[in-house]
Structure 1
Amino acid sequence: MFTGPIEDRLAIRELVEAYGDAVTRADKQAWEQNWTEDAVWTLNLPGLEKVEGRKAIVELWVQAMAGYEFVLMSSSPGAIQVEGNHATGRFYTSEVARTKDGTTQRVSGRYEDEYVKQEGRWYIHRRTFKVLYTQDVTEKAGA
């Protein structure tokens, strides 16, 4: 379901697209700018069930990204609902990544999000990720 002002829904979509672009470029500063100071990131992965605060979220992301040669991330919206300066959204993601040991990973997932608008700009306040599908493929030299 998509409800609320189209301008806000577009801004939220662009926020999520900027998030994916920052992941793909491994741009810490750009990625960090998508989160509120008191954000919460839930990954539903052992040991990473809940990370609180932008600083801790960014530190975890930097550590995780250090293990990859590249990551290509794209997202498609399933829902965006805006009510004033608060909104929720659901996005489906597709990622292809290569680890530094040469393993190619394909991951499809779903984000359930909460957003807040502060000083005229939308930010991610809560982001919960659920893996829907994952596949690891070890590549041969020259592949």
Structure 2
Amino acid sequence: MSDFEPFPEQVADRLAIRELVDAYARLADRRDAQGQAALFTDDAHVAVYDGEPDTTEPAQTLTGRSELVAAFGSLRNYDKTTHLNGQSTLTVDGDRATGETYCLAHHLWTEEGQRTLMVMSIRYHDTFVRRGGRWFFAERRLITDWVDRRPSPA
């Protein structure tokens, strides 16, 4: 049993933020790059890491919704994707929050007649802000812990 008990006023915020995180994954799997980008502030910053951010430079950085739309559109290169969000931690402080969410991202495609499955173990380190009564991503650090790529029989 955990000692953690959120303040009652934080319960709604926690639920809204989790719904935001899950909406990101759902929209990614539906290839809705515009919808994904709309979950971020206009000046949002996203950094993609191939390991811990404290020990490596980001492999990619994106700022603003237009850059996000272009990057999110790259998921169209796959036949199918499934993003499964797992455990998460969250700290809410007024109109700001920070959190970490684990995700297993499955990517399926066919190349030269070979169907391939890639599974990525991802951790998202997020900063959220509430604007106009709604929560948005202000910053997202995507950290890839490991990747498994293999043939996938039909």
Q: TM-score, normalised by structure 1?
A: 0.89
Decide whether the 8 Å contact of 1:3 with 1:82 is kept in 2.
no
- Residue 49 of structure 2 corresponds to residue 44 of structure 1: yes
Offset, 1:3: 5.1
Return the alpha-carbon distance in structure 2 between the equivalents of residues 58 and 2 of structure 1: 37
The amino acid of 1:128's aligned partner reads R
Match of 2:71 among 40, 60, 67: 60
> What are structure 1's unaligned runs of at least 5 residues?
none
Return the alpha-carbon distance in structure 1 between the equivalents of residues 152 and 22 of structure 2: 29
- After superposition, the CA RMSD in angstroms is 1.9
CA displacement 1:19-50 (0-9 Å, x = unmatched): 01001111223212211100011111588431
Q: Which residue of structure 1 lines up, in the alignment, with residue 136 of structure 2?
A: 123
Matches within 5 A, 1:4-43: 5-43=10-48
The number of residue pairs the alignment matches comes to: 140
Q: Which residue of structure 2 lines up, in the alignment, with residue 133 of structure 1?
A: 146
- Residue 105 of structure 2 corresponds to residue 105 of structure 1: no
Q: Which residue of structure 2 lines up, in the alignment, with residue 75 of structure 1?
A: 85
Deviates more, 1:131-140 or 1:83-92: 131-140
> What are structure 2's unaligned runs of at least 5 residues?
51-56
Decide whether the 8 Å contact of 2:116 with 2:149 is kept in 1.
yes
Sequence identity, in percent? 27
Tell me the SS of whatever aligns to 1:65: helix
Deviates more, 1:6-15 or 1:98-107: 98-107
Tell me the SS of whatever aligns to 1:111: strand
Moved >4 Å (runs of 4+) = 1-4
Q: Which has the larger radius of gyration?
A: 2
Tell me the SS of whatever aligns to 2:60: coil
Shift in CA distance, 71/84, structure 1 to aligned 2, threshold 3 Å: same
CA displacement 1:107-142 (0-9 Å, x = unmatched): 1110000000000000001000111121111234xx
Q: TM-score, normalised by structure 2?
A: 0.83
